[in-house]
Amino acid sequence: MPLLVMKFGGTSVGDLDRIANAAAKVKREVERGYDVIVIVSAMSGKTNELVGWVEKTSPLYDAREYDAVVSSGENITAGLMALRLQEMDVPARSWQGWQVPINTTSAHGSARFLSIPRANIDQKFAEGMKVAVVAGFQGLSPEGRITTLGRGGSDTTAVAFAAAFEAERCDIYTDVDGIYTTDPRVSSKARKLDKIAFEEMLELASLGAKVLQTRSVELAMRYNVRLRVLSSFEDTDETSGTLVCAEEEIMESKAVSGIAFSREEAKITLFTIEDRPGIATAIFGPLAEAGVNVDMIVQNISEKDYDEHHAGAVTDMTFSCPINQVARAEKALEDAKAAGKIRYDELIIDTDVAKVSVVGIGMRSHAGVAAKMFNALAAENINIKVITTSEIKISVLIDRKYMELAVQALHDAFGLDKA
């Protein structure tokens, strides 16, 4: 019997009516001949409520008990979904993470999968069960404690089950009807994509597109799990939504497939640091230890080629990081300077920047993408502060006030409104 994995996010199961709507979609797939594994999130707002309860009860909480509490939201949804399906004469039962079992590491709050044995669920399918409703976001540590996977973990759960059970496809039901060339709230010309390659989706997810969790895309790419993103609130068929798949399934790729952006960026520059082997390690080692996620890095030519205080050649270093990590980064650098690990004359922080990126596997075979991008921004008089590139991505830091203008200009320049 072919198997399908269907995942429903918090808004898709936000109340009993929405659970009934999701159950109707599951029943339709059963009627098409599939055995189905349904992965559910907690009802919208429930996880935040549970986190709040934990923090009010114990500000310095035990992470193991935190996981025991916050994982309960998914258990409720799984049970309600199974009951709804049973009322619709669909043989279904719910599964909590420990019952499968979903084996994970012991990193409470950010656990990773170790294994998902198939035996228990396969046996129930053999006995006539048609739908296994599994609580997402949770697992079981080697010590026998409940773990959670971090926010967005239900997406990762769904992909992991699709890989473990060799599912035909993994359908991610959410409150949008697919993946768009950019955020439709920023550009009215944004167009829904029929297909997008794993690598493109991974870049878009890591750059701020919130439709899919980054770890879920990484896992899908590793195990070649075909993902489909589609709306819970529309009638759907086999052609609905956006398929996230291997590059080989996409016949012809445009140079650029999408424009991603992030408002929550900051730029930090260290002026007049020693230009010597190991200086990058001396700077970014303490930042890593402090948990700062460094993104774009540029080493500049300093206004000074030589400085008597440093007794050698000097340079400047610029990097970006999430704006909510600026204080942590500043302290890590100041502590490193106080300990004599690095020297710098000045530390300048700019919290009024945004990152805009063009992404596309077609860049591999299309020349001139960077030139077109920079020309489009120049035409709008937008100054570029930092540039980084990869094989399928070009990212720039610009003043935040120009972010929406930049997105619209690039969307037009690359003709993303046209199929």
Two structure tokens written together for 207: 């750059």
7 is in an annotated binding site: yes
344 is in an annotated binding site: no
192 is in an annotated binding site: no
69 is in an annotated binding site: no
252 is in an annotated binding site: no
180 is in an annotated binding site: yes
137 is in an annotated binding site: no
Two structure tokens written together for 255: 């140079």
128 is in an annotated binding site: no
66 is in an annotated binding site: no
Q: Of 356, 403, 384, nearest to 207 (Cα)?
A: 356
Contact (Cβ atoms closer than 8 angstroms) between residue 248 and residue 226: no
**CA 87: distance to chain centroid?**
35
**CA 331: distance to chain centroid?**
28
9 is in an annotated binding site: yes
275 is in an annotated binding site: no
404 is in an annotated binding site: no
Binding residues: 7-10, 47, 74, 174-175, 180, 185, 210-211
Binding residues for ATP: 7-10, 174-175, 180, 185, 210-211
Binding residues for substrate: 47, 74
